[in-house]
A and B are shown apart, each in its own frame.
Chain A
Amino acid sequence: GAGVSQSPSNKVTEKGKDVELRCDPISGHTALYWYRQSLGQGLEFLIYFQGNSAPDKSGLPSDRFSAERTGGSVSTLTIQRTQQEDSAVYLCASSLAMLRGGYQETQYFGPGTRLLVL
């Protein structure tokens, strides 16, 4: 079956504009995760969804970031009033169930959206 897909693959925007990044998880995966990978840095966890619910939004770097998931499938990550420091690769991952203590799950990653804010 198809893996996790993300769109667009690349996005160049001007500072102050809003952007929407999309993630299509693997069919049947109920858990979905967003990460950010900046140059020379590891992956920074942003938010996860179990179904359509995002219980913990504390990983989002500022209130300019928001995410939603509808129908237990597609998720969008929205960045409002983009800043240059938002430039990064935004990665989405999905798993059959939520990764939590005692529950063995593996996250499968998409190809990412490379965002450049000029």
Chain B
Amino acid sequence: AQSVSQHNHHVILSEAASLELGCNYSYGGTVNLFWYVQYPGQHLQLLLKYFSGDPLVKGIKGFEAEFIKSKFSFNLRKPSVQWSDTAEYFCAVYPYGGSQGNLIFGKGTKLSVKP
């Protein structure tokens, strides 16, 4: 069965530190890839997505992610985090040919940014 792994359960950083959150998926075919963010007390919001084309995707609030097909990875990055980036981040994959409509989510990475 397809799965999504997020390597870090909880990441703690100081403001201005660089961020990289890992995401790997298990599916050999074509995929659509997403990062969602859930700020405290708020609902899930789309941060960025990859469907095709340039594997380096830029999203909102200075986030970017790189799709590396050979590594089955879609890591999220930000050069300099802010306290307001404190949230939980979810990687999600849609595998072509999979159950239609079924986004497969990782278990999430909680990011805490210290002011």
Q: Interface extent on B, as a size class?
A: 20 to 34
Which of A56, A91, A98, A106 is in CB contact (< 8 Å) with B46?
Answer: A106
Which of B44, B100, B106 is in CB contact (< 8 Å) with A100?
Answer: B100
Q: Are B103 and A107 in contact (CB under 8 A)?
A: yes
Instruction: Identify the interface centre among B45, B98, B100: most chain A CB within 10 Å of its CB.
Output: B100
Q: Are B99 and A42 in contact (CB under 8 A)?
A: no
Q: Are A45 and B107 in contact (CB under 8 A)?
A: no
Q: Are A98 and B44 in contact (CB under 8 A)?
A: no
- Contact code string A76-118 (vs B, CB < 8 Å = 1, else 0): 0000000000000001010000111110101111111000000
Q: Interface extent on A, as a size class?
A: 20 to 34
3 closest residue pairs by CB, A with B: A101-B96, A48-B101, A109-B44
Residues of A within 8 A of B (CB): 3-4, 31, 33, 35, 40-45, 48, 50, 55-56, 58-59, 91, 93, 98-102, 104, 106-112
